[in-house]
Amino acid sequence: MQRLFFYGLVLVGLPVAGVCAHGPQIQVTQEGGKVVTRSLIGDGPYSDSATPERSVYVMPLAPHNGAWYARPNPGLVPDPLNPGSFAPHYYSGPGFAPGYGATFDTGSVLSVGFTTGLQKWDGAAFVDAGDAQLRGFQGSNPAAPSAAMFTQDGAPSLAMLSVPVSADPETHGTIRYSLEGDAAPLGIYLASLSLATSQSGVGASDAYHFVLFRGVGQAELGAAVASLGYAPALVQVVPEPAAGACLAVAALSAVGLLRRRRT
């Protein structure tokens, strides 16, 4: 017997950049003795209210200076090096914003790492992406980052990136993500991560996922996301970058129909 599943993904609006702008961050808290990942906020403020819990973040890939990056915030600003043209306000992300509700101890440290190798959608399932990797890094210079980690085929990444927690409710740590190795930007990639804290008595988050895409249709993207098995409420889709000003978008998109056979 076949049952037809409708999978809808919500396009979540990203705030317009402001004076205290610090780019895209995932709001995180600790609840019930474990780290909880919440919504990706396109720009500050990050601590006004608790956002919904999320497990899957669907983000476009976009070019910058010869490389391809996860681009959750599509905002553009005038490019000072090329008058009359625009550059990304924040060319990659997201990092983390742990300040809401002061649920983490001041001085504690959040550490994020990849849990598996990078995977790529083959039209039916996510499979090993071959020599392609995803790099997460900190620092303003991609060529000489202050810290970096890479997906590792078949095993968790040994390297982790750390975000210290301060008393400021807007505390955050910026992380950027780039495709590396033999990675063609077209297609759909899957990276899986986990977030831990040095705070005593608080366990690591459940696994969460980045679905990174370029040049694919909504139906294909919807099928890839649906294959992960998460409820739509746990999936956040950020809008694809577009020329012009940064706009807040809120719309419900029907992105795929998935047929599954039940016995």
Q: Which residue, chain included where needed, has tokens 């990078």?
A: 118
Q: Pull the structure tokens for residue 42.
A: 């396109």
* pTM recorded for the entire structure: 0.83
What does the alpha-carbon distance between residue 199 and residue 231 come to, in Å, rounded to a whole number? 29
What does the alpha-carbon distance between residue 38 and residue 29 come to, in Å, rounded to a whole number? 8
The domain containing residue 239 runs over which residues? 2-261
> DSSP labels for 112-125?
EEE-S--EEE-SSS
Angle 38-109-33 (CA atoms, 0-180°, nearest 5)? 55
What does the alpha-carbon distance between residue 245 and residue 77 come to, in Å, rounded to a whole number? 8
Q: What is the pLDDT of residues 167-220, one digit of tens each?
A: 999 999 999 999 998 777 799 999 999 999 999 999 999 999 999 999 999 999
Parallel, antiparallel or unpaired: strands 76-78 and 67-70: unpaired
Q: Which residue, chain included where needed, has tokens 């476009």?
A: 60
SS (H, E, C) 67-109: EEEECCCCCEEECCCCCCCEEECCCCCCEEECCHHHCCCCCCE
Contact 52, 41 (CB under 8 A): no
Q: What is the pLDDT of residue 239?
A: 62
Residues pairing with 112 in the sheet: 161, 195
Number of domains in the chain: 1
Q: What is the pLDDT of residue 76?
A: 78
Q: What is the CA radius of gyration of the chain?
A: 18
What does the alpha-carbon distance between residue 172 and residue 200 come to, in Å, rounded to a whole number? 20
Q: Pull the structure tokens for residue 67.
A: 């490389």
Residue in 210, 157, 216, 156 with CA at minimum distance from that of residue 184: 216
* 3-class state of residue 145 by DSSP: coil
Q: Pull the structure tokens for residue 147.
A: 């810290």
Distances (CA, A) of 174 to 150, 219, 248: 16, 32, 21
Residue in 58, 71, 53, 49 with CA at minimum distance from that of residue 218: 58
Please list the ranges in the chain whose pLDDT falls under 70: 1-21, 239-263
Q: Which residues of 118-127 are buried (b: 16+ CB within 10 A; e: fewer)?
A: bbbbeeeebe
Q: What is the pLDDT of residue 21?
A: 52
